[in-house]
Amino acid sequence: MIRILIADDSELTRVVLRDLLSQDASLEIAGEVCDGLAAVEQTAKLKPDLVIMDVMMPRMDGLEAVAEIMAATPTPILMLSANTDPHDSRGAFAAIKLGALDVMPKPSGVVTEAFSQIAGQLIAKVKSLSRIQVIHHYRVQRSKVEKVPVCLPAGPRRILAIGASTGGPKAVMQILQELPKNLPAAVLIVQHIADGFAPGFADWLDRESTLSVRLARSGDKLQAGTVLVAPNSGHLTVQSNRVVLDDSAPLHNCRPAVDALFNSLARQELAAETVALLLTGMGTDGADGLGRLQERGAYTIAQDEVSSAIFGMPKAAIERGAATQVLPLEQVAEVVCRLFAR
């Protein structure tokens, strides 16, 4: 049984969340609160497997509550945002920086034909996040990580391709924060994220790093020092050094998919000039594409198990022999900088 604490000041939202979560008998509502202070207190008391948290609440907002919970009783937290607009979703991404794991749009109280689909998405997210051992990763981030020996090949590199899913937003942010503004590489990112939040994700990364970050558009030319993030509307692919947004069917039930990006690079001479990172996430998306890139001369990196929120995608790549190197998150940016300095 997965026990959930709901923290939202809207009674209607709490009712809707109860209705959505009640579609799965393995989920139990351990408690409900209407402000951030109560969320902190009840998390300590009830010790739920997951907290679903609103950003804006009275007495103590969601940001402060996340910080308090992560300091006192580290627990997986899913943020809800009433608006996916980049400016309005900043609070949700700020919460991720503080330790929350993911963000989803707040469900409305209007009953629609999409109820089952929304319930399915929420239930799947709750189940995946509730399994993450937050205490373990909270400690790892603050401990000294032993460096993995790295042998770097010679050869020019000019593309950095990154794929991530659950737990990825914060991991991607940490990597970009450590990359220099004059990085001699174009950066392409595919992050599985709830519909509508890709613009907010790109805006957040732009504010958190020295690199220029924005959503990718069809026709964009790959330029050093520029980070392009896949929009929610299509697969991010590359042809002839330019972005092509592909609205073809989802891969691994995902659009955008990491494999779409990796495979598009593997089909071109660009592969040998690519460094590809496959980070934390559930499932196998990106594993096959990482292998194809490696076969074509790319330097491929998979995040290690200890630093991954969910060791799904990287594990699949490692088991396929697709990773040139397996690294803890804390060492990835350093190795990337060394690869592009050669």
pLDDT for 144? 55
- List 192, 252, 264, 308, catalytic entry: 192
pLDDT digits (tens, 9 = 90+) for 280-334: 999 999 999 999 999 999 999 999 999 999 999 999 999 999 999 999 999 999 9
Stretch 93-105: mean pLDDT? 94
pLDDT category at 118 given cuts 50, 70, 90 is confident
Which CATH topology does 159-340 take?
Answer: Rossmann fold (3.40.50)
Task: DSSP letter for 167, please.
Answer: T
130: annotated active-site residue: no
| CB 136 within 8 Å of CB 112 | no
Secondary structure (DSSP) of 217-231:
-TTPBP-TTEEEE--
Terminal C-alpha separation, the chain: 51
Residue with tokens 């934390």: 280
Stretch 84-97: mean pLDDT? 86
Identical fold, 2-140 and 159-340: yes
Counting residues of the chain whose pLDDT is more than 90, the rounded percentage is: 82
Task: DSSP letter for 171, please.
Answer: H
The pTM of the full predicted model, rounded to 2 decimals, is 0.92
Is it the case that residue 15 has pLDDT exceeding 90? yes
- List 49, 102, 203, 285, catalytic entry: 285
Task: DSSP letter for 101, please.
Answer: -
pLDDT for 112? 62
The letter for the amino acid at 2 is I
pLDDT for 138? 45
- List 89, 165, 209, 307, catalytic entry: 165
| CB 112 within 8 Å of CB 99 | no
Task: DSSP letter for 36, please.
Answer: H
Chain centroid offset of residue 119 CA = 21
Q: What sign does the dihedral 203-205-209-214 (CA atoms) show?
A: negative
Range with the poorest average pLDDT among 109-113, 119-123, 126-130? 109-113
pLDDT category at 136 given cuts 50, 70, 90 is very low
What SS3 state is found at 263? helix
Measure the CA–CA gap between 258 and 273, rounded to whole angstroms.
Answer: 18
192: annotated active-site residue: yes
236: enclosing H helix or E strand: strand 235-239
Backbone angles phi, psi at 121, to 5 degrees: -65, -45
pLDDT digits (tens, 9 = 90+) for 148-160: 766 677 678 999 9
Domain boundaries, the chain: 2-140, 159-340
pLDDT for 322? 98
Stretch 126-139: mean pLDDT? 75
| CB 165 within 8 Å of CB 313 | yes
235: annotated active-site residue: no
pLDDT for 109? 65
pLDDT for 181? 95
**CATH architecture of the domain covering 2-140:** 3-Layer(aba) Sandwich (3.40)
Tokens for 263? Answer: 């495979």
Stretch 80-107: mean pLDDT? 88
